[in-house]
């Protein structure tokens, strides 16, 4: 039953049209919060809407209304409690891990759960390749490798555990409550480090580390300064799409030769595959050929004519990444572009993966 169905006897047709058709739920079967956007025309009805949500979902103990866009360095937003418990701390389950958080104090988005798993899968694929190549993942691969990779992927869990003994080093800038580092460690056995500036997020990150019996190294601070002591990482993840581009120098410093950066950004949905075409065959073979195929499939092939303001297109972002890496005295190649989520008219959140040599 939809929210509209629930309210059918209490609102008129015009009001029903303005009822939000979807809302976000964060939490567990025991306790969750719902986040709704209520249009101005329905302000007087918001209590009614919130009570209907709680009546239908018994686990929802608080209903919050979005009162601002995300902002500030912590990337949080203002909420107003419409109904229910003012204690909005919940335990959210994702990919078999538990995350304690208060959405009023920290950034967290369940919509990014698929993306966290994608990164864990990339690291897992790399471990499988290490096993095949005796740790020489930077070497060229031939088509035989694909068959062997597929074969290995289907082997028993015992053998999969075996490959996780070769730990990867993964650094997560802007780590929030620790979802990326903890899921990656649990799925791949990687040695993870997370840097985060919000002290409340750090407190939850520490608690989540304990809750999941994870061993992430937790660094409280600004990536701009804190990065200096971290070197030779296999992967650096940059989940701050508004300004990841300002941290390219820090990424270059932390990555080992042949290491991969996963950078999130907002970009126009433009007609381009140029960024990938610039990638040499040699670089493409750096990732599994399977992954390269995903890259080609997931890059956008068609554009739209919608207004896009100042949001850059993918080509200018990839050009800037290459320039900024070159300014550090190193080189990079774009190996994968993943469309992550729609963000606005003609605008998407993308992940750009590049290897730094």
Ligand X SMILES: C[S@@+](CC[C@H](N)C(=O)[O-])C[C@H]1O[C@@H](n2cnc3c(N)ncnc32)[C@H](O)[C@@H]1O
Binding site for ligand X (CB under 6 A): 73-75, 107-108, 112, 174-176, 179-180, 195-198, 201, 222-224, 239-240
Q: Assign 3-state DSSP to the chain and report helix, strand, coil percentages, each to 5.
A: 40, 25, 35
Between 65 and 115, whose beta carbon lies closer to ligand X?
Answer: 115
Between 30 and 222, whose beta carbon lies closer to ligand X?
Answer: 222
Q: Let me know the angle formed at the C-alpha of 68 by 57 and 309, rounded to the nearest 5 degrees.
A: 120
* Least distance in angstroms from the C-beta of 239 to ligand X: 4
* Least distance in angstroms from the C-beta of 300 to ligand X: 22
Q: Where are the beta strands (DSSP E) in 85-225?
A: 89-94, 97-102, 169-173, 191-196, 217-220
Question: What are the Cα distances from residue 63, in Å, to 73, 90, 112, 356?
Answer: 25, 13, 21, 45
- Which three-class secondary structure state does DSSP give residue 345? coil
Between 45 and 92, whose beta carbon lies closer to ligand X?
Answer: 92
* Least distance in angstroms from the C-beta of 75 to ligand X: 5
* Least distance in angstroms from the C-beta of 318 to ligand X: 21
* Least distance in angstroms from the C-beta of 225 to ligand X: 9
Between 54 and 119, whose beta carbon lies closer to ligand X?
Answer: 119
* Least distance in angstroms from the C-beta of 180 to ligand X: 5
Chain position whose Cβ is nearest to ligand X: 176
Closest listed residue to residue 251, CA positions, set 269, 265, 234, 272: 234
Which residue reads 């956008």 in tokens?
300
Residues 6+ apart with CB under 8 A from 128: 149, 152, 153, 163, 288
Between 222 and 297, whose beta carbon lies closer to ligand X?
Answer: 222
Between 8 and 220, whose beta carbon lies closer to ligand X?
Answer: 220
Between 72 and 134, whose beta carbon lies closer to ligand X?
Answer: 72
Nearest-angstrom CA–CA distance, 298 and 300? 6
Which residue reads 């992550």 in tokens?
340
What are the two backbone dihedrals, phi and then psi, of residue 229, each rounded to the nearest 5 degrees?
-85, 0
* Least distance in angstroms from the C-beta of 352 to ligand X: 16
- Which three-class secondary structure state does DSSP give residue 67? coil
């Amino acid at each position: 039953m939809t929210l509209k169905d629930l309210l059918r006897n209490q609102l008129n047709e015009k009001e029903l049209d303005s009822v939000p058709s979807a809302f976000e739920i964060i939490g567990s079967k025991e306790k969750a919060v719902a986040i709704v956007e209520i249009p101005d025309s329905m302000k007087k009805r918001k209590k009614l809407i919130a009570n209907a949500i709680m009546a239908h979902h018994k686990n929802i103990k608080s209903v919050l209304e979005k009162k601002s866009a995300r902002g500030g360095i912590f990337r949080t937003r203002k909420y107003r409690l419409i109904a229910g418990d003012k204690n909005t701390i919940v335990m959210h389950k994702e990919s078999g891990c538990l995350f304690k958080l208060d959405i009023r104090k920290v950034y967290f988005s369940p919509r990014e759960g698929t993306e966290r798993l994608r990164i864990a899968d990339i690291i897992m694929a790399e471990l499988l390749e290490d096993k095949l190549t005796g740790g020489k993942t930077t070497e060229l691969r031939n088509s035989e490798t694909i068959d062997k990779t597929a074969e290995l992927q289907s082997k028993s869990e015992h053998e999969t555990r075996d490959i996780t003994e070769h730990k990867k080093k993964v650094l997560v800038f802007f780590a929030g409550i620790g979802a990326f580092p903890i899921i990656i460690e649990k799925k791949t056995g990687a040695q993870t480090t997370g840097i985060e500036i919000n002290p409340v997020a750090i407190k939850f990150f520490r608690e989540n580390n304990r809750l999941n019996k994870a061993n992430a190294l937790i660094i409280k601070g600004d990536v701009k300064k804190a990065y200096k002591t971290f070197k030779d990482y296999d992967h650096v993840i940059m989940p701050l799409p508004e300004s990841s581009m300002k941290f390219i120098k820090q990424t270059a410093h932390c990555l080992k030769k042949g290491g991969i950066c996963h950078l999130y950004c907002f970009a126009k949905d433009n007609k381009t595959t140029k960024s990938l075409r610039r990638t040499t065959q040699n670089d493409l073979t750096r990732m599994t050929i399977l992954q390269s195929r995903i890259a080609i499939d997931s890059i956008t092939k068609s554009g739209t004519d919608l207004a896009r303001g100042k949001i850059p297109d993918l080509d200018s972002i990839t050009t800037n990444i290459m320039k900024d890496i070159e300014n550090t005295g190193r080189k990079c190649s774009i190996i994968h572009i993943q469309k992550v989520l729609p963000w606005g008219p003609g605008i998407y959140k993308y992940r750009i993966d590049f290897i730094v040599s």
